[in-house]
């Protein structure tokens, strides 16, 4: 996760033997959440760089959310929800690793 030109950007590399992930729009299956249970689930863009079926990678981008979303939080969580055969995956960045 990093900031680039007023966007929050997650570099994503997926790896599987099945099913076909290259045609999945990751942006429609994600949300970010903070430790106050505030969520953002819209405004994401999936900038896929490699369209391979089993090893796609790209950048998940979100235009700069309100600064209050990040103020005094203990963590930020990225969730991937209901994507192909995945019910939910979570990735958490604790506040000591957040640089806003």
CATH architecture of 2-97: Sandwich (2.60)
Distance CA 65, CA 55 (A): 29
Give the global pTM: 0.79
pLDDT tens for 21-75 read: 667 788 899 999 999 999 999 999 988 786 666 667 889 999 878 888 888 999 9
- Confirm if 96 and 76 have CB atoms less than 8 A apart: no
Domains of the chain, residue spans:
2-97
């Amino acid at each position: 996760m990093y900031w680039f030109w007023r966007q929050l950007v997650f570099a994503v590399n997926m790896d599987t033997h099945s099913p076909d992930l290259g045609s999945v729009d990751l942006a429609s299956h994600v949300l970010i959440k903070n430790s106050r249970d505030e969520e953002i689930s819209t405004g994401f863009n999936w900038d896929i760089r490699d369209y391979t079926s089993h090893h796609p990678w790209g950048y998940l981008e979100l235009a700069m959310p309100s600064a209050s979303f990040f103020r005094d939080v203990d963590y930020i969580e990225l969730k991937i929800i209901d994507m192909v055969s995945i019910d939910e995956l979570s990735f958490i960045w604790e506040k000591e690793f957040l640089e806003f």
